[in-house]
Structure 1
Amino acid sequence: MQSNKASNASNKKVLITQVAELEVLIQAALTMEERFTPAIKEVNKDFRLSARNLLHYLALRQHDIRTLQAALAEKGLSSLGRTEGHVLASLFAVQKQLGISLDSQPASKEPAITFSESNELLQANTHALLGTAPANRNARIMVTIPTELASDYDLLCRMMLAGMNCARINCAHDDEKVWLEMIKNIKRAEKELNLPCKVLMDLMGPKLRTGPLKPGPKLISIHPIRDEQGQVVSPANVWLSAAGKEPNFRVDSRLPFSSAWVKQLQIGDVLDFRDTRGRKRRLSVVKKTAAGVVAHLFKTSYIGTGTTMRVNNKNMPQREAEVGELPAMEIPITLKKDNFLILHKEPLPGEPAIFDAGGHIIKPAHISCTLPEVFTRVKAGQPILFDDGKITGEIKTVSAGQLLIRITAASEKGSKLRANKGINLPDSKLNLTDLTEKDKQDLPFVMKHADIVNLSFVNHPDTVLELQNLMEKNGAVKTGIMLKIETKEAFRNLPHLLLAVMRRYPAGIMIARGDLAVECGWERLAEVQEEILWLCEAAHMPVVWATQVLETLAKKGRPSRAEITDAAMSQRADCVMLNKGPHVVQAIQMLDEILALMQLHQHKKTSMLRNLQISELEPIAEENARGKR
């Protein structure tokens, strides 16, 4: 009897301690909300409850509650592992249950957001930003659309029918003329297919990139498609036309000729030539249009400006013609471990290293960068990465006009660095808070035609506020804003970025996992991605899961096993982004199926306990029963 009393007293003491721990967490949440009252007042009314809940969640995550979680789970109570969308409601509910065990009723408290309101808010916010969810799944599919969709209407329709719900146009590529044709095609397809498709346009942002390289010879290399044994399985489709005349279908290469000469060509004509290596080659005309012709090429060829083509048709008045002006070939810089590279402020064309007769470098390779501001904001000893981390280096010396960099990692045979490749400075505080001049130039078009503005490489709330002010002045009140989180600095500032973007409605976040992995380290990507998902769910903010989803399927036609798992996990976001590729329709179809299936099993982090699909269980049981008879 005495033992039972002691045990009861001990249990009561533990319960009282746990109630007190919960009260500490509740008070911390309310204190955080009070501290940020001015910021909450600036938030759009449709985000105000969510902003309060976000602050409650940030306060909660400043405490290590793992011991408390284990104790609550042992009692069969919520372990607070799914509090993101309704922090105070979760804390109050658990506190109430503990109070019942103590035969005491805590004072009735009204949470900022109830359990049901949390889910309703996220659904409403996602609908406002990304449109109506498709019938078979909750997560939307966004696709980066290629340049050819400005003219290839059929491909766009196939993408939308496969499951694309949002088209992403990257303002780092093409121009307003091409963008407008893309958007016209999207609007036309929406009407004809009766399918909605939002348009998101990516502002380039202050992306640090390599500058131009010294131009090489004016030639192109054309390659037929070969299989694993090197056998040609499909010829290269080469477009022959006057300069500036584009086909309205996909081709592999383009060669300019005089308009009069191209008009003479007929299907079946054969064009003989010697390529720049002196090898005999042949083009066979297989299609003729008003703008030009398509010819098949079955052998790899290097063709330069001025290469002479001769038609085997003796009835042609002019049998020979020269290839017109071709773009200069880019000669990349090859870098190996322990090589030096000079990154300079002046916009001089980059060049490979110069070697002496013995193979020793007498002048290191050099290249410029697109943001001269970095030269005053980096320090010797800091890391620097190029081309999505394929090349890494260490800054050895810093001067007003250049950085001397020692390459610390590259491929064994040497990694090639080209123009317009990304540069990452993960340990450097660059303090780039203003919209770039290019973004300001692109913004009027984007505000007029896009449903969502995606702000790339955003690091500071001031950039978000500048964008919002410009949009306000131009009357773009219904255009959504999405922040692309792709730097270590943006990840550190995420709570402030969320509060800033919540000043306008609707809004969302994109997790750009490529640059984020380079900046934070590949080994930390999963952790960083998880934290972004947590904070966005606390803010009831739609999230786009982006970068390399089903990448090899889109590009090569067959996914890797790891990509299938990654695509399945992406269902925890509200939208999943695919990049362009020759097999993008197939990638959309597979992602559509995966997302529809996975939502039966999981919503955000919560497992959905539908019946297990284990078909073999009953037959084995029956077989065992028969064996015992």
Structure 2
Amino acid sequence: MQDAIGELRRPEELLDEVTVLRSGVAEEGRRIFEAWRPGIVRRSFQVSALNFAHYLALRRRDLRGLQSQLMVYGLSSLGRLEGRVLANLDAVGGALRAMAGEAPAHYPRPHAFFRGQRLLASHAEALLGPQARPGRDVRIMVTLPSEAADEPHLLLALARAGAEAVRINCAHDDAERWERMVAGIRHAEVAVGRRMRILMDLGGPKCRTAEVRHPPDRGRIAEGDVVLLVRDGAFVPLEQAPFQAACGLPGVVDRLRSGDPVFVDDGKLGGVVEAVSAEGARIRVTRATAKGRKLKPDQGLNFPATDLGVVALTDRDRADLDFVAGHADVVGYSFVQSADDVRVLQRELAVRRPNDWNRIGVIAKIETPHAVRNLPEIIVAAASCQPFGVMIARGDLAVELGFERLAEMQEEMMWLCEAAHVPVVWATQVLESLVKKGLPTRGDMTDAAMSARAECVMLNKGPNVVEAVNMLDRLLVRMAEHQTKKTPRLRALTSW
């Protein structure tokens, strides 16, 4: 071990380093917190915000060398301190002080040491409701299909299987169908004897293909082909551009520049803007499957390097909020990019529910690099006022950040949320093969097991979703015996 970390340092030296570290983190964190303090009106977030500020201050430092030294002495390596930054540093400092023969050694009280864990559990319950199953800390949320409006038996089956929450996607259907879904859920609650949370997810400014044109004898696009993203729906003759698509979000072509990457349908088709002209943007395809991909209407478009200049809350969202504010327990906020976006939604909620708008929960969908960079300010702006959680929208994030960085960034986002005692929703294609086809893959099961570190897991709609809830319920109960967040739980192993 000495070869790996260099010369082993004495406890007195490490104590000096930890003391300086603790002092610096406390001072820098306090400055960060004081800038946030005027906007924090929710008392339960005060302690969380201060710990969050300390964590941000701590993670601006490279502590890898110190970690290795502490491990040799059997001390905490600081690798699981997200929810209790100063308390963890105090505990390490106290142990080093005792080892160095300095008295008195000071340790944080157990109640204070685990306060962050209790706050996270409390915030999760305020947002997502109590758990349906003993021994399972992670909630299960299910996206409802349109048919759920007329299939109350499905809603009852989900409730009996153990789902704590349902998601209604406001990008689909209308208030009449949403109302029938809500009524069905409330009836299911009576049958199972517990309340379920209803998340209504605002559609947001989702950029999708509109009309698509291609030669009648060739529908698949291959690498090297060119797709014309037409300006304002003004198609040109196919002789000039065999593959053409209109964008459902106005003004996008005007924002594109040569060299900008473009992805279609969750990255299944990708390319680079070669040129922008009066006709539109010419996109050279650089990513496609061996057989090529079909370009269809209503496929998602992603522009990771382009500032589209769109607002998170659209006119359609504002209209939908008239219903959502009166029926939902939680509002799902798509395409949120900044603290200003959060405040826009809060003002709209206050207009519709002036006396208790801050009782409505908000879940911010983090789906772009800009949102990732602004995650601390998004967390503080929202959690300072109302129950709040973060949804890691892994589908869009994989396209926007690149598949190589997704795993890294979802970990970092979970660390930040744990430090702020903010619950996380693990979303996108969990147990997808089981939900859609009736049989999970090995990758599905591994991903679902990893989701146990979040506070909620969201399943998509599909014909086998009730079976998926049952399987996920059993898996999460088993995983809870082995791990809490990043911390392994060393129960006795019985397989050997």
TM-score (ref. length: structure 1): 0.73
Give the secondary-structure state (helix, strand or coil) at the position aligned to 1:388: coil
In structure 2, the residue matched to 1:196 is 195
Corresponding residue number in structure 2 for 1:364:
242
2:394 paired residue number: 513
Root-mean-square deviation (CA), in Å? 2.5
Measured in 2, the distance between the counterparts of 1:500 and 1:574 equals 20
**After superposition, where does 1:27-176 map in structure 2 within 5 Å?**
27-43=24-40, 44-105=42-103, 114-136=112-134, 137-176=136-175
**Amino acid in the other structure paired with 1:556:** K
Deviation, 1:340, is 1.1
* Paired residue secondary structure (1:363): coil
User: Is 1:467 equivalent to 2:337 in the alignment?
Assistant: no
When residues 81 and 400 of structure 1 are mapped into structure 2, their CA distance, relative to the original with a 3 A threshold, is farther
State which of 393, 415, 440 in structure 1 corresponds to 2:271: 393
Cα distance, 1:11–1:520 mapped onto 2, change above 3 Å: closer
Q: Which residue of 2 aligns with 1:480?
A: 361
Cα distance change, pair 400–455 in 1 and its aligned pair in 2 (3 A): farther
On the 8 A contact 2:213/2:244 being kept in 1, the answer is no
Q: Quick one: distance in 1 between partners of 2:14 and 2:463? A: 61
Q: Could you report, residue by residue, the CA deviation over 1:393-428 in whole angstroms, capped at 9, with x for unpaired residues?
A: 101113466211111111222201211211111122
1:553 aligns with one of 411, 434, 458? 434
Q: Partner residue of 1:605?
A: 486
Structure 2 letter corresponding to 1:148:
E
Long gaps (5+) in structure 1: 1-9, 217-329, 355-360, 618-629
Identity of aligned residues (%): 44
Query: Deviation at 1:577?
Result: 0.4
**1:522-550: CA deviations, max 9, x gaps?**
12111111001100000000111111100
| Runs of at least 4 residues off by over 6 Å | 106-111
Instruction: Rate the CA distance shift 1:33–1:377 in 2: closer, same or farther, 3 A.
Output: farther
Q: What is the CA deviation profile of residues 213-257 of structure 1, one whole-angstrom value per residue up to 9, with x for unaligned ones?
A: 4799xxxxxxxxxxxxxxxxxxxxxxxxxxxxxxxxxxxxxxxxx
Secondary structure of 1:68's partner?
helix
Letter matched to residue 39 of structure 2: E
Match of 1:577 among 453, 458, 477: 458
Counterpart-to-counterpart distance in 2, 1:331 and 1:80 = 62
How many residues were matched structurally? 484
2:23 to 15, 23, 26: 26
Structure 2: tracts of 5 or more residues without a match = 1-6
Bigger radius of gyration = 1
Q: Does 1:337 align with 2:223?
A: yes
Task: Specify the alignment match of 1:543 in structure 2.
Answer: 424
Contact 1:343/1:405 (CA < 8 Å) preserved in 2?
yes
CA shift in 2, pair 1:454/1:206, >3 Å: same
Q: What corresponds to 1:206 in structure 2?
A: 205
Q: Which amino acid aligns with 1:478?
A: R
Moved more, 474-483 or 530-539: 474-483
Look up the match of 1:407: 285
Cα distance in 1, alignment partners of residues 421 and 310 from structure 2: 28
User: Shift in Å at residue 369 of structure 1?
Assistant: 1.2
Look up the equivalent residue of 2:288 and give its one-letter code. A
The residue type paired with residue 20 of structure 2 is E
Which residue is equivalent to 2:313? 435
Q: Distance in 2 between matches of 1:108 and 1:613?
A: 38
Deviation track 1:282-326 (CA, whole Å, cap 9, x = no partner) reads xxxxxxxxxxxxxxxxxxxxxxxxxxxxxxxxxxxxxxxxxxxxx
Return the structure number with greater helix share: 2
Question: Alpha-carbon deviation of 1:488?
Answer: 1.5
8 Å Cα contact 1:384-1:392 kept in structure 2:
yes
Contact 2:232 2:251 (C-alpha < 8 Å) held by counterparts: no
Q: TM-score, normalised by structure 2?
A: 0.92
Query: Which structure has greater strand proportion?
Result: 1
C-alpha distance in structure 1 between counterparts of 2:416 and 2:229, whole Å: 37
- On the 8 A contact 2:390/2:425 being kept in 1, the answer is yes
- Contact 1:211–1:420 (Cα < 8 Å) also in 2: yes
Check the 8 A contact 1:29/1:57 in 2, yes or no. no
Counterpart of 1:292 in structure 2 is none
Secondary structure in structure 2 of the residue aligned to 1:114: helix
Paired residues of 1:455 and 1:481 also in contact (CA < 8 A): yes
Alignment equivalent of 1:422, drawn from 274, 287, 300? 300
C-alpha distance 611-11 of structure 1, shift in aligned 2 (>3 A): closer
